[in-house]
Amino acid sequence: MPKGGKKNNNDIPQRLIARYNHLSALADEEALMSGMRSVFDNNYIEVLDSLSPVDNPQFGIYIHLPFCPTRCLNCERNSHITQDSKKIDDYLELLGKEISLVTERIGVGKRINRLHIGGGTPNYLTEPQLAHLVDMVDRNFVIDDATETSIDANPKRASATQLDLLKGLGFKEINYGVRDVNSKVQHAIGRVHSFNMLRDVFDITRNIGFESISMDFMYGLPAQTIESIESSAKKINSLAPDRIDCFAYVRSTSKLPHQIAIDSNLIPSRATKLAQFNEIVSVLTESNYDWIGLECFAAKESNLAKAKLQNKLKRDWIGYTLHPSKNLIGFGVNASSEVGGYYAQNYLDLDNWRKSIEENRMPIQKVVKLADKDLAKRDEIINLLCNPDLTQNGSLLIHNLDHIDTGKKAASFRHAMYQRM
Ligand code: SF4
């Protein structure tokens, strides 16, 4: 994007781009999951049975670890607050059983092209727990040099010893949850860490030899201003992460009552959020970043930025990649799977998830077989996330959105996006 980012605040494409910045999250919630029936579809089991260990080389795994030591006030995730490490041990034991329930179907020894551990706060686990988790994966799947392996982490909980272990366990990418580096904003959301600490963690991570360090940066948070966003974006730029995922804060106190603790007077207006997003675009693209997807910036020399230039950028549920997983199985509470044209959603609550596994049933709450039109819509959304012409006049973006906005589901999809902005 040219230097004119700030000047474009009132341009329709800029406003659309900012509004539709939630498209990836909503692609999961609204488009991919829309139409799910609350019945278990045994055909899904047959599809799993038909997967042989050697077929489907583009096969990925997502593991959800929901535990955190405290709750950030802005949290939108499926997280469980605990200080009891035994609860995490118990969860890992059930995860092992859930993995076995799947490998009994698809066979042990299937090669995976992507492994992502998300949360929650995955690096809240102790070192033995992290080692045990990876051991469970290793015993059931084949991870080789080409497998993309990544884990979410809270920088405040990262240490040289822990990072050394994660590198030794085979993780290539660390995705740090940062939100903002401004201390006023951090206090407003109850997630405080100093910039010096963050810089040290980035230095250690880089020195240990991780291939990629990514981080998130949120806008629309309480106490953020356009000036504070500019300052934070410049500081983040100085850390030189390989990728920056940029999301808007979404206030939803009916679903997430802990957000009530955030003073609503401190939340930026919708117009300010748009200007904040434009500010982020300006700062990052004027330095060393390419705006590669609606919510993603990648260092110019990174593989993702190069792939974007060559029109080879892809995306799956885990995120942007050159090698998306065609089949992706999620393990853990709240995890989702996509296998052979089916989407399956695990139980969202720990009790039902646990009960199912204890009864030797896959902890799946809902399954849907996507019709051709659903798959086409999914492909359109992914295409939009990867390939809108973000630097020109936005006509492609508008064209794509117009194309998507057909039918009842798309109307609710658009409405949901509007609500979230
Ligand atoms: S670390 Fe993430 S998942 Fe945990 S409470 Fe904070 S925002 Fe939620």
Domain range summary for the chain, segments of one domain joined by +: 35-372
Question: Residue 67's beta-bridge partner residues?
Answer: 80
71 CB under 6 A from ligand 1? yes
Q: Tell me which residues of the chain have a pLDDT lower than 50.
A: 1-38, 390-421
Ligand 1 centroid to Cα of residue 370, in Å, is 31
* 236 Cα: distance to centroid of ligand 1 (angstroms): 20
Ligand 1 contact via 259 beta carbon (within 6 Å)? no
Q: Specify the DSSP class assigned to residue 255.
A: T
The pLDDT value given to residue 57? 66
75 lines ligand 1 (CB under 6 A): yes
Q: Does ligand 1 have an atom closer than 6 angstroms to the CB of 68?
A: yes
Angle at 384 between CA 406 and CA 416, to 5 degrees: 55
pLDDT for position 288: 94
How far, in Å, CA of 61 to CA of 46, rounded?
A: 19
Neighbouring CB atoms inside 10 A of 325's CB total 25
Cβ(215)–Cβ(241) below 8 Å:
yes
Using a 6 Å cutoff on CB, does residue 155 contact ligand 1?
Answer: no
The pLDDT score that the predictor gives to residue 293 is 85
CATH of 35-372, one of 3.30.70.1400, 1.10.1740.10, 3.80.30.20, 3.40.1440.60: 3.80.30.20
What are residue 173's DSSP bridge partners?
A: 150, 212
**pLDDT of amino acid 266:** 94
Q: In terms of DSSP H, where are the helices of 77-182?
A: 85-106, 127-140, 160-168
Q: Under 8 Å CB-to-CB from 310, ≥6 apart: which residues?
A: none
For ligand 1, is residue 154 a contact (CB within 6 Å)?
Answer: yes
Tokens of 99: 């993995």
pLDDT tens digit string along 91-143? 999 999 999 999 999 989 999 999 999 999 999 999 999 999 999 999 999 99
Residue whose CA is at the smallest distance from ligand 1 atom 7: 75
Closest CA to 184 of 120, 250, 228: 228
Residue 130 Cβ < 6 Å to ligand 1: no
Ligand 1 atom at minimum distance from 74 CA = 7
